[in-house]
Amino acid sequence: MSAVLQNLVNQPYKHGFVTDIESEVADKGLSEDTIRLISAKKNEPGWLLEFRLKAFRHWLTMTEPEWANVKYPKIDFQAISYYAAPRPKAKLKSMEEVDPELLRTFEKLGVPMHERAALAGVAVDVIFDSVSVTTTYKAKLAEVGIIFGSISEAVQTHPDLVRQYLGSVVPSADNYYAALNSAVFTDGSFCFIPKGVKCPMDLSTYFRINTQDTGQFERTLIVAEEGASVSYLEGCTAPQFDTNQLHAAVVELVALDNADIKYSTVQNWYAGDENGIGGIYNFVTKRGLCRGVNSRISWTQVETGSAITWKYPSCILLGDNSVGEFYSVAVTNHHQQADTGTKMIHIGKNTRSTIVSKGISAGQSSNSYRGLVKVMPGALGARNYSQCDSMLVGVKCSANTFPYIQVRNPTAQVEHEASTSKIGEDQMFYFAQRGIGAEEAVSMIINGFCKDVFQQLPMEFAVEATKLLGFKLEGSVG
Amino acid sequence: MIIPNSPALLEVRGLCASVNAVDILKDLNFSVKRGEVHAIMGPNGSGKSTFAKVLAGHTAYQVTGGEVLFDGKNLLALAPEQRARAGVFLAFQYPIEIPGVGNSQFLRLAYNTVQAERGQEELDPLEFDDLVREKMKLLEMSPEFLQRSVNEGFSGGEKKRNEILQMALLEPSLAILDETDSGLDIDALRVVSQGVNHLANKDNAIVLVTHYQRLLNYIVPDYVHVMSAGRIIRTGGKELALELEERGYDWIENEAEAAGAVA
């Protein structure tokens, strides 16, 4: 039966192709000049150039972190091109104006953008190699005062808002990759939900790395004012390349009083081949600040891709009664490595957090959950519940759980549950004895294992995630 | 029921099997015709459950000799799921729990897989729900079982009912019930037995693997076989079970040994 599982997990990457759009690519290498070039290309105000340069100067003094449970060769930051843009064209007002080659790309990905937008009512801010190509539904969102678009555009149209919040949750000196991102980010999304507005639709961005050897440095900033709420979807796929690509994004969320932000990710970057050659290094800093009372930030992630995943979507629970949530499924196969989890920092009174993490390892992969629950002295009555489950598929993979718990208030309640299970021979035999083949059996078991997390995903994402796990694990059980 | 001239459904000839290089089945011979109910009895460790699992194709067991014909075809050449689709059903002694997988979803997938194999209509969730609820009445099961994960948190008796429910849905031509009576209280035993009796007909056959005569008061076998040290050492009618209940297994084993010594 082992062979069947092997085949299941070993399906080739389905999204491996390069779109032939002429790119304007900066020379490789990183210096203050590179940063000035990026800033000038984007016609940025002086304060933003200063923000970048300050981050860069700090980055030069930092050393690459090595504490994560992942192994990879040293990255040569001078061998990366820090800017690639599709040839400048006039701003697009409708889908018809979009490069048909680009539309075909999305269709190959199974994300026919126009259909998606029309049928699902999703506004898609398409990020294609760092520059926002088109934004749909902007007008409709503008009616209720929502600003949703590329962050470069927002820098031009709403500089004060961007300046107020950029770096307020993830400071430019926060960590090595966040500093790098702050110095060289080229684009990303900006979303602002004003006071009292419930965003009438899910907001969605599809990211895609398209130019070989181009590092991606996305910067996303979402602000929900008092009583506002928004659900944001981020989905990723990347084409197949042999050289490793660095992806160091920063996502910042700010929730004011009674605001609610739900951030969902399906990540399927190219993971490398079955021998561990190639694949994306996904080193991401995601953090949400529950600044106001009764605010809520919820992260849901389905991580199936990348050669290395290193990310800890976190919540700082500053406002009293604020709520942080983290729901995660991380799947690794072949030689993939994942070190992912969350940080819940309880500062305000009666703050609550929930962590549900499901790790699935197959092949020779390594899958680690790393999480911090920190209760500060002022966090009276803080509560946390953590559940970390690992599932092993085969005998050559590994799963680890590294929970860090720091409690400095005696009224806090912190619970941690962990389990490790295997897709066992007896389970597979039970399915087989009822006529059900190995592929379907594995898919059913895995989906059952991940149910608590999938339930948190918006409908169409849940369907996508289920399919994704199916073909990710095809051939690995047995 | 014994039907004259009924075709053989299962023919086991000289079957040898081992697990972890330990021989368990040693030259086992066994034959079942459509319409018949067989009971296989025997002391602990005699190989009864191993025999059941080998027939179903459990991957932990290696067949080291002999042959098994099912409907005249080589059963041992088929993968476990192909055997199931061909009509071999095993009600497990210890049905495994599958957390997170909904029972109704599981049952429907199993049902539709077997239906497709037989060239019969597959059912959508609503149609299947009607069917499964009907079958559950037979086993006096509450519909609430459909919402739960497969066998998760089920009591011993509930798990056994769930097994017979699957038998009712899949309508196998050969049903092997591995100690289905163990862990059942008297009421549950009655319900499960009624279910099995209801499903028995002239086209299928049932093999009961059991320790105790008790079950055979409810499901009356046409033949009783005694298994010892990996082979069948005595075959008789239903009265053999009563004799075993009274006298234990030693006397048969002693007789078989003596016969073996003479031979």
Structure confidence by residue, pLDDT tens digits, A332-369: 988 899 999 999 999 999 999 999 999 999 888 999 99
A137 or A359, which is more confident?
A: A359
Question: For residue A391, which residues of chain B lie inside 8 Å, CB to CB?
Answer: none
- Give CA separation, A279 vs A7, A254, A276, A300, B35, in Å: 20, 32, 8, 23, 60
Q: What does the pLDDT average to over A2-8?
A: 47
Tell me what pLDDT residue A4 has.
Answer: 46
Flag whether pLDDT at A431 surpasses 70: yes
B116 shares contact with chain A (CB less than 8 Å): no
Percentage of chain A modeled with pLDDT above 90: 47
How many CB pairs below 8 Å do chains A and B form together?
74
Q: Compare all CA atoms of chain B with the CA of A435 and give the residue at the minimum distance.
A: B81
- Sheet of B73-74: strands edge to edge? B22-33, B8-19, B61-70, B73-74
Residue A418 C-alpha, separation from nearest chain B C-alpha, in angstroms: 15
Tell me what pLDDT residue B57 has.
Answer: 96
Tell me what pLDDT residue A99 has.
Answer: 58
Count the neighbouring beta carbons within 10 Å of the beta carbon of residue A3: 10
Tell me what pLDDT residue A66 has.
Answer: 86
A311 or A22, which is more confident?
A: A311
A453 or A16, which is more confident?
A: A453
Q: What does the pLDDT average to over B55-82?
A: 96
Enumerate residues 178 to 237 of chain B having a beta carbon within 8 A of any beta carbon in chain A. Answer: none
**Residue B82 in domain:** yes
- Lowest mean pLDDT of A320-329, B81-90, B167-176, B238-247, name the range: B238-247
- Give CA separation, A7 vs A402, A464, A473, in Å: 31, 21, 9
The CATH number for B165's domain is 3.40.50.300
Residue A236 C-alpha, separation from nearest chain B C-alpha, in angstroms: 27
Tell me what pLDDT residue A76 has.
Answer: 86
Return the closest-CA partner of residue B52 out of B110, B20, B92: B92
User: Cα–Cα distance between A273 and A257 in angstroms, integer?
Assistant: 46
Flag whether pLDDT at A136 surpasses 80: no
**Residue B51 in domain:** yes
Across the interface, whether the CB atoms of B117 and A447 are under 8 A apart is answered no
Closest Cβ opposite residue A448 in set B79, B99, B109: B99
Q: For tokens 């299962």, name the residue.
A: B10
pLDDT in tens, A167-213: 999 999 999 999 999 999 988 889 999 999 999 888 876 544 444 44
Across the interface, whether the CB atoms of B84 and A445 are under 8 A apart is answered no
Closest Cβ opposite residue B110 in set A425, A436, A451: A436
Across the interface, whether the CB atoms of A449 and B60 are under 8 A apart is answered no
Tell me what pLDDT residue B258 has.
Answer: 83
User: Cα–Cα distance between B140 and B158 in angstroms, integer?
Assistant: 10
Residue A417 C-alpha, separation from nearest chain B C-alpha, in angstroms: 16
Across the interface, whether the CB atoms of A433 and B114 are under 8 A apart is answered no
A441 or A81, which is more confident?
A: A441
pLDDT band at A243 (very low <50, low <70, confident <90, very high): low
Taking all residues of chain B, what is their mean pLDDT, rounded to a whole number?
93
**Residue B110 in domain:** yes
**Residue B3 in domain:** no
Tell me what pLDDT residue A93 has.
Answer: 53
Which of A89-93, A274-278, B108-112 shows the highest mean pLDDT? B108-112
pLDDT band at B193 (very low <50, low <70, confident <90, very high): very high
**Residue B1 in domain:** no
CB A435 within 8 A of CB B84: yes
Which tokens go with B140? 């006096």
Residue A345 C-alpha, separation from nearest chain B C-alpha, in angstroms: 31
Residue B134 C-alpha, separation from nearest chain A C-alpha, in angstroms: 20
Flag whether pLDDT at A13 surpasses 80: no
Q: How many domains does chain B have?
A: 1
Tell me what pLDDT residue A20 has.
Answer: 54
Residue B107 C-alpha, separation from nearest chain A C-alpha, in angstroms: 9
pLDDT in tens, A25-72: 667 788 999 999 889 988 999 999 999 999 999 999 999 888 888 888
Q: What does the pLDDT average to over B259-263?
A: 63
Across the interface, whether the CB atoms of A449 and B100 are under 8 A apart is answered yes
Q: What does the pLDDT average to over B171-196?
A: 93
Across the interface, whether the CB atoms of A437 and B81 are under 8 A apart is answered yes
Across the interface, whether the CB atoms of B98 and A447 are under 8 A apart is answered no
**Residue B173 in domain:** yes
- Give CA separation, B220 vs A58, A468, B39, B158, B226, in Å: 84, 51, 9, 23, 16
pLDDT band at A74 (very low <50, low <70, confident <90, very high): confident
A466 or B159, which is more confident?
A: B159
Across the interface, whether the CB atoms of A436 and B98 are under 8 A apart is answered no
Mutate to test the interface with B, among A429, A451, A466 (most CBs of B within 10 A): A429
> Domain containing B56: what range?
8-262
Percentage of chain B modeled with pLDDT above 90: 80
Flag whether pLDDT at B41 surpasses 70: yes
pLDDT band at A442 (very low <50, low <70, confident <90, very high): confident
**Residue B91 in domain:** yes
**Residue B183 in domain:** yes
- Give CA separation, A400 vs A28, A360, A388, A397, A419, in Å: 37, 11, 10, 10, 11
Flag whether pLDDT at B141 surpasses 50: yes
Count the neighbouring beta carbons within 10 Å of the beta carbon of residue A276: 17
Question: For residue B95, which residues of chain A lie inside 8 Å, CB to CB?
Answer: 430
ipTM value greater than 0.90: yes
